Amino acid sequence: MNFMKLTNTQYNSIMQEYRRLQQDRDELIRKRKRELREKVPGFARLDDDFIAQGRKALFDSLSQGGRADFKGLTESVIFQEKDLLRRNGYPEDYLDPPYQCPDCRDSGYIDGEPCHCMKKRAIEIVFKDEPVMKRMLTDRFSDFSLDYYPTDRIDPQTGASARDWAKRALEASRGFVDTFGDGIRNIVFYGSAGSGKTFLSSCIAGSLLREGKTVLYLSAARLFDVMADHSFRRDGYSDDVGYTSIFSSDLLIIDDLGTEISNAFTSLSLFDVIQSRASSEKAVIISTNLDLKEIRGRYTDRIYSRLIERYNFYHLFGFDGRYENGLKNLKPAKKNGGH
């Protein structure tokens, strides 16, 4: 059965990637062994002895009807190899290069269950055409400039300027990444269109993706489409990547909350998502053009109370579109580097 109801093509594509990783690692080990046999005195003899002893142990076990025990032999050879490598200036793990995912050892599975790296790749494949998913690996905190936010635009509710709020939001976003996993820290970015809400959400998402976390970033409209597709389909197809990732991903980002069609189903679905992820201690970030009064008026009291109790709110305002437009003129983000 295909993992999380991926199509055969999608599943085979993922497994081919894992096979390629394993083959590349095996080839690297073979290449390094050839190098060591040529350059390190005594390595070839040790390697040949290990092969010969392994063959003898296997032959003896077959002739005696038992099982070959290679554990002691292998541990002894590994100890001698490491000592030989260290004395000749090589790192001890030269013949044990790291896996891209050390948890599943680049197999995609741990004890028969899909590894977090496989879930991450499945999300990327299924939602590869989502606009907000595409930008996550290009947006960087270093491109967020407080200069876009004026000091003379004041939030009448708090008395803080647009720049004060932007600084708080930026610091909170960096802190969200730096302390991710230390407890639930949910965020709501709210304010005028184009004021940087989506950009900060994208920076957080990209930073966590580069740390190997699973991130699902969807517009509110798309989120509720996935929920409706799961709830109302007739074929009993109930374990697809889209739906399960809403609840299982390390981070869920809901963009443009409030732009979806408002009805009983969307309200129930939103409460289900918020409540379920809180129960499983999974983080959520929401961006919306609605202010607090509009959020309270649009959604149920249960939803509003959960948001007030469990989310930190950051008000971004001041340039009404020019912030996002200004980012388009920036030079391309560096491929490597920090947040």
Tens of pLDDT, residue by residue over 116-150, are 888 888 877 777 766 666 677 778 899 898 988 99
Which of the given ranges, 74-83, 116-125, 156-165, 222-231, has the highest pLDDT on average? Answer: 156-165
User: Which residue's entry shows tokens 């993922």?
Assistant: 14
Asked if 33 and 92 sit in the same domain, the reply is yes
End-of-domain residue from the set 63, 90, 113: 113
End-of-domain residue from the set 70, 88, 113: 113
In contact, 1 and 109? CB cutoff 8 Å: no
Asked if 83 and 167 sit in the same domain, the reply is no
Tokens matching residue 253:
């980002």
Confidence of residue 339 (pLDDT cuts 50, 70, 90): very low
In contact, 119 and 248? CB cutoff 8 Å: yes
Residue 212 pLDDT more than 70?
Answer: yes
Q: How far lies 93's CA from each of 25, 85, 86, 143, 164, in Å? A: 13, 9, 10, 38, 49
What's the confidence (pLDDT) of residue 306?
93
What's the confidence (pLDDT) of residue 246?
92
Q: Rounded to an integer, what distance in angstroms lies between the CA atom of residue 70 and that of residue 72?
A: 6
Domain contains 122: no
End-of-domain residue from the set 80, 113, 146: 113
Asked if 109 and 131 sit in the same domain, the reply is no
Domain contains 336: no
The domain total for the chain is 2
What's the confidence (pLDDT) of residue 132?
66
- Write out the residue range of the structural domain in which residue 30 sits: 3-113
Q: pLDDT tens-digit profile of 239-284?
A: 477 788 899 899 999 999 999 988 999 999 999 999 999 999 999 9
Asked if 242 and 315 sit in the same domain, the reply is yes
Rg of the chain, C-alpha, whole Å: 26
Domain contains 335: no
Asked if 143 and 233 sit in the same domain, the reply is yes
Average pLDDT value for the chain: 82
* CATH for 157: 3.40.50.300
Residue type, 253: I
Confidence of residue 55 (pLDDT cuts 50, 70, 90): low
In contact, 139 and 196? CB cutoff 8 Å: no
Residue 1 pLDDT more than 80?
Answer: no
Strand order in the sheet with 311-316: 215-219, 251-257, 283-288, 186-191, 311-316
Q: What is the mean pLDDT of residues 73-100?
A: 84
Q: What is the mean pLDDT of residues 55-75?
A: 58
Domain contains 339: no
Asked if 98 and 141 sit in the same domain, the reply is no
Asked if 45 and 136 sit in the same domain, the reply is no
Give exposure, 258-277, as e/b (b: 16+ Cβ within 10 Å): bebeeeeebeebbeebbeeb
175 or 71, greater pLDDT: 175
Asked if 59 and 8 sit in the same domain, the reply is yes
